[in-house]
Copies of this chain bind each other. A is one copy, B any other.
């Protein structure tokens, strides 16, 4: 019932519901990342934008006191590495082995790139903004169980696969990541999992394999704040 490391993600991940940009023509180059390998660090000059092909990335920022915060996860199809003033504003690591497409973007600041590519970049950035806004709704004034429910529904949309009438997926990240993403402690995340299990909203086959039993229940949880 216990596994100390998240499951290895294969190269096959289900398509996701959201519309997203197709950068294949613009980015023939790819790069493979081992589990835990970093793609870039905070402060690095941003020479490229990356599109996740397979695997999952996490964006991390540390505070002065060393506290870690997970700003977001990048699933296949997502863009990572949006620069600010030509620099990356966060660390980016592979949660599981991943492959990313590389978009050379020296001109991303200079305006020297192809208009159609720029259009795709803008659309990707707008998508990112919308996605972050959704996350804001999750972070403020919600209980731990509600936050976890929201997070799991998001996971289901992005990496869920059907399993006998239900949706299931392998959580690629450890509890610590989820906690730092939701603004909780790992202990509280664990307790929230237990609570959702007791409510029969989900099952945990391993600790990293989630089977959603009652999606409606999770949705009503994530929506109602009391």
Which A residues form the contact surface with B (CB < 8 A)?
19, 61, 63-65, 67, 69, 71, 82-85, 89-90, 108-109, 111, 115-116, 118-119, 121-123, 125-130, 132-133, 135-137, 139-141, 180, 182-184, 223-226
A-B contact pairs, 12 of them (CB 8 A): A61-B133, A63-B137, A64-B223, A65-B224, A82-B126, A108-B122, A111-B116, A118-B119, A135-B136, A139-B139, A139-B183, A140-B183
Question: B133 to A125, Cβ gap below 8 A?
Answer: no
Complex CA distance for A141 and B66, rounded to whole angstroms:
13
Contact of A223 among B63, B119, B224, B225 (CB under 8 A): B63
- A121: B residues at CB distance < 8 A: 122
6 smallest CB-CB distances across A and B, nearest first, come from A140-B183, A125-B125, A84-B130, A111-B119, A64-B223, A139-B139
- With A118-B119, A132-B132 given, is the CB distance from A223 to B65 under 8 Å? yes
